Structure 1
Amino acid sequence: MKLKLGILDQSPTIKGGSSLQALKNSIDLAIFADETGFHSIIYSEHHGVEAYGSSSPEILSAVLLSKTKRIKVGTGGIMMKNYSAYKIAEWAKMLGSLYPDRFILGLGKAPGGLKDAVSALNNHRPVILSSQETKLEEIIQYITERKGIYDGLIAQPTDVVRLPEILWLGSGIQSAREAAKHGVGYSYADFMRNSQALESTETYLREFDRSQYSPALSLQVAVAVSVAEDLKSARYNAYGMAYQFLQARHIQAPEALLPTETIEKRILGTENEEEFFKILDHIILDTPGNISGRLREKAEEYHTDELLLLCNMYRETDRLDTYKSIILAH
């Protein structure tokens, strides 16, 4: 089975670095991914945290679509509760029309930031906690130019020949069921794995409705990875990423990536030590010679041929070496 390998790029910042440098790194990574054969590169959305440099994946996607030739580029994902369905549909149709078959509209239900950021994004008004599935339905109506809430309202550009690919992001059964119901792709966050992992993806594969948005199901699994010449280095390089996952689990704003030595001093001997190392053990850690087999095992576990690779590291060279090792092994 030939795997479709993509990159989930969060534009990670490092302690003492800058968000601008993180964005420049994202541009360099996309050009590298385009030239070396990666299938896709997807940009996440975060607000009000120092850990990640990009707050606007749709803008980053537009920039990188113009700088690359063949790779699929998209959002992973737009945090829907902060924006109108109409506006999302407008710019998605525009990017999908200008770059046919290359733009991916990834949509998520998470807030994309902590309380103050979400409040600011919503003009200081309480966030309406209505069903995000309803907003997905509206977006599909605008993109496909079917009658919606506002009779006769169009979302430019009209008469789109090839519709943009849509991915519904999630980590639970409900999200999988929603994606299947509406005939859109499903992206499961394995790096946030919970007890519903396989049940979630199996639900999507079993219930997918080919009569809806797209007749072709698309199951994407996002995994965290670290590759180095020896396992000890691969493990050490992943400390910063694991520590950010730990902070997110505790509903804390993740810090910029820290050196391994700093994290060890913070973690060892504390009440968070056991949880930290469980998170670290869930990251795929391996050497260039073995990584291809490990990724195939993960794909077979989920019955998919598409993996999205997340790799955040304190040293950008280590992050690039991980992606280089994977694509060379592939």
Structure 2
Amino acid sequence: MKLKLSILDQSPTIEGGNSLQALKNSIDLALFADKAGFHSVIYSEHHGVKAYGSSSPEILSAIILSKTQRIKVGTGGIMMKNYSAYKIAEWAKMLESLYPERFVLGLGKAPGGLKDAVSALNNHRPVVLSSQETKLEEIIQYIKEEKGVYGELIAQPKGLFHLPEILWLGSGIQSAREAAQHGVGYSYADFMRNDQGTKSTETYLSEFDRNQYSPAPSLQVAVAVSVAEDLKSAQHNAYGMAYQFLQARHIQAPEALLPSEKVEQRILGSEDEEEFFKILDHIITDTPGNISARLREKADEYSTDELIILCNMFKETDRIDTYKSIILANV
């Protein structure tokens, strides 16, 4: 059985490049994905870092929806700490009304940037660290046009024929339980290497409440992948992505993607060498002939048929080739 494959696009920048080129690459990738048969393309939100070109996945989603024909497009995800539930619901309803059954509202609890960026997003006020689950509840109330905090207040446009799909992003058991209790989809970030992976997804599937937002669970697992004609090339092409993961783990703002040679110079013999190669080992690196079986193994591990593929590479041609190999192998 074919997997339902999607793309997680972070609009990666490269050393010596710029964010405008990264955004143009995102548009080109989406046009390819629409024709190639990918299920959806999802855009992440990052602030104040050189590594990623897009700070507004909702705007990028609107642009891509206008340029494509069939593929689902969405946010992966909106960092809720920084915005009101009311505003999120308004533009989500607008995109769903203009592009029925094609918009995906992915929501995340992370800050989306380091301290200064988060402070600036919140108009220099301290970030409220209360449960983001409450904000999810408010968003659902506004979308479903139920009575909420402000009584009869509506989020325009009113009277949608279809409710937008909602994905709750996470990498732990608590996030899985929240998604299940509210009846929304759950997107688990496998590429972040959390030891609670299968336990989180099992919790989501077993506790899903079919009487809430959606009648059936939707489990999506995000994995990092690199495909090339030989295994060594596939691994080398993933060096820049693995190095960004390493920086993020150390609570550093990731740099723009570096060529594999420069990453090697920094890593080999350093105190981070062992950790770097552990991260690299968790990235699925393989050849076109083997990648289908590797992805099937990952899907079976999590009892799902939905995978979302993250692929950040220094050469855009290598990134496109990875996605081409993946979709061609999914028969």
Do Structure 1 and Structure 2 share a fold, with TM-score over 0.5?
yes
Matching of residues 1-330 of structure 1 within 5 Å = 1-330=1-330
AA paired with 2:95?
A: L
Q: CA deviation at 1:117?
A: 0.1
Q: What SS does the aligned partner of 2:169 have?
A: strand
Question: Offset of 1:289 from its aligned partner?
Answer: 0.4
Q: Tell me the amino acid that sits aligned with residue 83 of structure 1.
A: Y
Deviation at 1:13, TM superposition (A): 0.1
Letter in 2 for 1:95: L
Q: How many Å separate the matches in 1 of 2:62 and 2:206?
A: 34
Q: 1: distance between equivalents of 2:307 and 2:195?
A: 20
Unaligned runs of 5+ in 1: none
Q: Partner amino acid for 2:141?
A: Q
After TM superposition, give the deviation of residue 194 of structure 1 in Å.
1.2
Distance 1:2 1:324 in 2: 15
Question: 1:33 deviation in Å?
Answer: 0.1
**CA distance in structure 2 between the partners assigned to 1:106 and 1:300 by the alignment:** 23
Counterpart AA for 1:261: E
User: TM-score under structure 2 normalisation?
Assistant: 0.99
In the alignment of these two chains, the number of paired residues is: 330
Deviations 1:293-316 (A, max 9, x none): 100110000000100000000000
CA distance in 1, matches of 2:193, 2:213: 27
Deviations 1:59-110 (A, max 9, x none): 0000000000000000000000000000000000000111111000000000
Note the C-alpha offset of 1:259.
Answer: 0.7
- For residues 193 and 203 of structure 2, the distance between their equivalents in structure 1, rounded to whole angstroms, comes to 16
Distance in 1 of aligned mates of 2:225 and 2:5? 12
For residues 46 and 182 of structure 1, what CA distance do their matches in structure 2 show?
Answer: 26
After TM superposition, the runs of 4+ consecutive aligned structure 1 residues lying more than 6 A away are none
Deviation of 1:187 (Å): 0.1
What's the offset of the Cα at 1:193? 1.8
Q: What do the CA deviations read for 1:268-290 (whole angstroms, capped 9, x no partner)? A: 11110000000000000000000
Using the alignment, how far apart are the partners of 1:194 and 1:227 within structure 2? 23
Structure 2: stretches of 5+ with no match in the other structure: none
The SS at the match of 1:31 is helix
What is the aligned-residue identity percentage? 85
Q: What value does the CA root-mean-square deviation take over the aligned residues?
A: 0.4
Amino acid at match of 2:300: E
Provide the C-alpha distance between the structure 2 equivalents of 1:282 and 1:216, rounded to a whole number of angstroms: 30
Q: Which amino acid aligns with 1:166?
A: I
Give, in whole Å, the separation in 1 of the partners of 2:239 and 2:180. Answer: 35
TM-score (norm 1): 1.00
Q: Distance in 2 between matches of 1:5 and 1:310?
A: 11
Structure 1 residue 195: Cα displacement: 1.3
SS in structure 2 at match of 1:138: helix
Name the SS for the 2:191 alignment partner: helix
Equivalents in 2 of 1:100, 1:174: separation in Å?
Answer: 31
> 2:94 aligns to what SS in structure 1?
helix
Query: What CA deviation, in whole Å up to 9, does each residue of 1:118-174 have, x standing for no partner?
Result: 000000000011110000000000000000000110000111110000000000000
CA distance in structure 2 between the partners assigned to 1:164 and 1:216 by the alignment = 14
Aligned residue type for 2:183? G
Cα offsets for 1:198-254 (capped at 9, x unmatched): 000000000000000000210000000000000000000000000000000000000
